[in-house]
Structure 1
Amino acid sequence: MHDTLLTALALLCLLAAGLPAALAAVNLSVLRPPAPGPDGGLVSILIPARNEAANIVGTVRAALASADVPVEVIVGDDHSTDATPDLVRGIGDPRLRLAPIPALPDGWTGKNNACVHMAGLARGRHLLFLDADVRLEPGAAAALAGHARRTGAALVSGVPRQRMDTLGERLTVPTINLLLLGYLPVPLMRRRPDPSLGAACGQLMLIEAAAYAATGGHGAVRDTLHDGVRLPRALRAAGYRTDLVAGADLATCRMYDGFTGAWAGFSKNAHEGMATARALPVWTLLLGLGHLLPPVMVLAGVFGLLPPAAWAASALALILSLGTRAAITRATREPFATVPLHPATVLTALAIQWNVLLRRERAGAATWKGRSYPVGGA
């Protein structure tokens, strides 16, 4: 009976590891870097910035270096108390504008308020929303706009290549691509208009200006800290198409500079993703069985604590788990040193989510960039 239960558990691990392996194989085969299309007019690159003196000059100069499409760059200064506005003024390019952001209205998050204001000033057919720590490649704006025109997608997004210079970043940041490529069925997302299939990366999103205006854009999701989830779903609910592309060749981003910043950053919008009483137990089972338990089971088998069938299934589950992670790492050009850390990365992700869920009632608010927001906002 004991051996039967262990074998059944190992087979569950194999099934749970096989799901993301199969989805990742399909997704990586269909997600391609976008190619530039014929000139479709001006692209407005919109960069919300709040105390981004360390990043803003490099980000703006990279955006201004865009090729194969005309661009304007608008930096929204969201009440910065550092040198951000002065640094932007010092760049001195006629295609660049600095836009002071109005005071934050009740019920809004800072980024959404800044994005709506900048969109109101923009003149482009497409709006390319860019986080202040993202460096565009020269052909990125043209490629995203070209893909949008060819496919008819109102929103096109991709995950930039993620820089991870510390152990803390390597224990947290790779979760983004694992969840996106291992658990979102991209072909189904492209075929069906279901809003729940909508997904984007808030670091890099190109949106057709007319669709943005018609749906209210960031104003329609004004209370969210997770526009990469809520905005594509709002567009799809209004009948517009959204799409994902491979983003590693389009831009580079270093989200955080260590474990503390990464923990805080991933915690701020956890309650809008996995950290709900309904979703998190399911995610814990999926990720635990597929990525955490296989190495434990394999180690137990090495010490003779598993029957042969259970050990074989566990070993295959571990191979699938690490193989999936290695394939995603290669495709997204993340550091290969993160692959052996994969079980620890998944464990860290679940720890962040459970910490947010268990503290949610007491905390009552999420804090980011010096502002606090009620966690009850969707």
Structure 2
Amino acid sequence: MTPALSFQESGPVAVQADASRTPEADPPNAEKRPRVSILIPARDEAATIEHTVRAALASTGAAIEVLVGDDHSTDATAALVRAIAATDSRLSLVPIPSLPEGWTGKNHACAVLAGRARFEHLLFIDADVTLAPAAAAALAAHATATDAALVSGVPRQRMGTLGERLTVPMIGFLLVGYLPVPMMRSSLRTSLGAACGQLVLVDRAVYAATGGHGAIRGFLHDGVLLARRLRGAGHRTDLVAGHALASCRMYRGWGEAWAGFSKNAHEGMATPRALPIWSLLLFGGHILPVLLLILFGLGLVTPVAAGLALAALLLSLGTRAAITFAMREPAVTIPLHPVTVTVALLIQWNVLLRRKAAGAAVWKGRSYPLNGA
């Protein structure tokens, strides 16, 4: 029995269909198990790849194969995967060909891996994502039960430094706090397509029919754009609770976090049309209340204004707390929330106003043109 997944209005929740039994306690008939190809693009991931691969191979409740795409790594990534593959025939190392013009690295690697996959469900995960044993089976079961061509979740984010805690929590906050989940599920509107590229399961036939990663080859936001591509073709997509399915440590320190989120900003909020709106929304709801309370302490704001600011701040922190606890993120990130929002806006404005100084989108030693141009 695999976990049933839900995503409620109050935040993400993952519950088992029968809370009294673990997924391993009642394995399904082998003939009815979903078949999942777990696809992992990897470029210089020696620090994490062995742990990621072994966790994927430990999947239960589904027939799996694990394909790791070695994208011209200069470290021990390929050697580590080969060593594990020598002991487990379900694992294969796939050398990724040279990057064609007009492609981003991850999209190219994912497309190559999908072309080598044998099973009907394709589960794309990043090389720093640790799958829970029942994750692949749970995602496949949810996709089948809901007739969703794509199901994604936000893994539980692990954060080891202050720099990570001031940046990473915005992922879940924006997705959970600002995505109208009931509307997303009841509608096929393209604009409501949402996914986290760290953990995406997609139907293989639909993926091929809609062009897969090849249809978004020049872009960096593979998760969101893939979901919107499928919705545009009339297919249902879903975003579910991910904290019980996988965990991930995206970055290690302030420098990596700033660079990573700057890369994503090129195709995120950092546009002349979107950023002013997002800035008003985020600044007014999460930063201004703190500033008004500071001004009240200096005698520059009336008690009425301070009272309203306090109410707004409590609402802001309460929302952040609900999302933090639901996604199993560190509680210390809650009081840091106003600073986290400030940092997020600084990253976005830095990319928008200093586009040349901020640089092209650069990652893993590769530089890409902006906005898929």
Give the superposition deviation at 1:365: 2.2
CA distance in 2, matches of 1:363, 1:317: 33
Aligned to 1:161: 156
Aligned to 1:342: 337
- 1:80 matched to 2:78? The reply is no
CA distance in 1, matches of 2:182, 2:266: 27
Letter in 2 for 1:69: A
SS of the aligned residue for 2:367 comes to strand
Which of 144, 149, 173 is equivalent to 1:149? Answer: 144
Give the superposition deviation at 1:360: 1.9
Q: What is the TM-score of this pair, normalised by structure 1?
A: 0.90
Relative CO higher for 1 or 2, CA cutoff 8 Å, sep ≥ 6?
A: 1
Which of 118, 122, 131 is equivalent to 2:117? Answer: 122
SS of the aligned residue for 1:89 comes to helix
Give the superposition deviation at 1:212: 0.4
Structure with greater helix share of residues:
1
Q: Displaced runs of 4+ in structure 1, greater than 6 A? A: none
Q: What is the TM-score of this pair, normalised by structure 2?
A: 0.92
Which of 64, 76, 100 is equivalent to 1:71? Answer: 64
In the alignment, structure 1 segments of 5+ residues that lack a partner are 1-24
- Which sits farther off after the overlay, 40-49 or 299-308? 299-308
Q: Does structure 2 conserve the Cα–Cα contact (< 8 Å) formed by 1:159 and 1:204?
A: yes
SS of the aligned residue for 1:43 comes to strand
Give the superposition deviation at 1:364: 6.2
Letter in 2 for 1:144: L
Identity rate, percent: 66
Q: Does structure 1 conserve the Cα–Cα contact (< 8 Å) formed by 2:124 and 2:198?
A: yes
- Measured at CA, do residues 324 and 192 of structure 1 come closer, stay the same or move farther in structure 2, by a change above 3 Å? same
Q: Does structure 1 conserve the Cα–Cα contact (< 8 Å) formed by 2:129 and 2:249?
A: yes
Letter in 2 for 1:104: L
1:201-260: per-residue Cα shift (whole Å, max 9, x none)?
Answer: 000000010110100111110011111221100110011110011100000100000010
RMSD between aligned alpha carbons? 1.7
Give the superposition deviation at 1:26: 6.0
SS of the aligned residue for 1:128 comes to strand
Aligned to 2:166: 171
Aligned to 2:289: 294
Aligned to 2:82: 89
Aligned to 1:229: 224
1:89-116: per-residue Cα shift (whole Å, max 9, x none)?
Answer: 0012100000001111110000000001
Which of 241, 246, 250 is equivalent to 1:251? Answer: 246
- Measured at CA, do residues 28 and 34 of structure 1 come closer, stay the same or move farther in structure 2, by a change above 3 Å? farther
Which of 202, 214, 237 is equivalent to 2:197? Answer: 202
- Measured at CA, do residues 338 and 234 of structure 1 come closer, stay the same or move farther in structure 2, by a change above 3 Å? same
CA distance in 2, matches of 1:184, 1:163: 22
SS of the aligned residue for 1:272 comes to coil
1:128-186: per-residue Cα shift (whole Å, max 9, x none)?
Answer: 00000000000000000000000000000000000000000000000001101111111
- Measured at CA, do residues 259 and 34 of structure 1 come closer, stay the same or move farther in structure 2, by a change above 3 Å? farther
Structure with greater strand share of residues:
2
Give the superposition deviation at 1:301: 2.4
Letter in 1 for 2:145: R
Q: Does structure 1 conserve the Cα–Cα contact (< 8 Å) formed by 2:267 and 2:371?
A: no
Letter in 2 for 1:289: G
CA distance in 2, matches of 1:74, 1:376: 29
Q: Does structure 1 conserve the Cα–Cα contact (< 8 Å) formed by 2:34 and 2:141?
A: no
Letter in 2 for 1:90: A
CA distance in 2, matches of 1:217, 1:72: 19
Give the superposition deviation at 1:269: 1.6
Pairing of 1:38-57 with structure 2 (within 5 A): 39-57=32-50
Letter in 1 for 2:123: L
Give the superposition deviation at 1:362: 5.5
Q: Does structure 1 conserve the Cα–Cα contact (< 8 Å) formed by 2:12 and 2:327?
A: no
Aligned to 1:366: 361
Give the superposition deviation at 1:30: 6.7
- 1:269 matched to 2:264? The reply is yes
Aligned to 1:7: none
In the alignment, structure 2 segments of 5+ residues that lack a partner are 1-6, 18-22
Which of 168, 174, 181 is equivalent to 2:176? Answer: 181
Aligned to 1:13: none
- 1:28 matched to 2:23? The reply is no
Q: Does structure 2 conserve the Cα–Cα contact (< 8 Å) formed by 1:46 and 1:118?
A: yes
Letter in 1 for 2:49: I
Q: How many residues align?
A: 354
Give the superposition deviation at 1:310: 1.3
Letter in 2 for 1:271: H
CA distance in 2, matches of 1:319, 1:127: 42
Q: Does structure 2 conserve the Cα–Cα contact (< 8 Å) formed by 1:184 and 1:197?
A: yes
CA distance in 2, matches of 1:118, 1:275: 31
- Measured at CA, do residues 33 and 177 of structure 1 come closer, stay the same or move farther in structure 2, by a change above 3 Å? farther
SS of the aligned residue for 2:101 comes to coil
Q: Does structure 2 conserve the Cα–Cα contact (< 8 Å) formed by 1:198 and 1:229?
A: yes
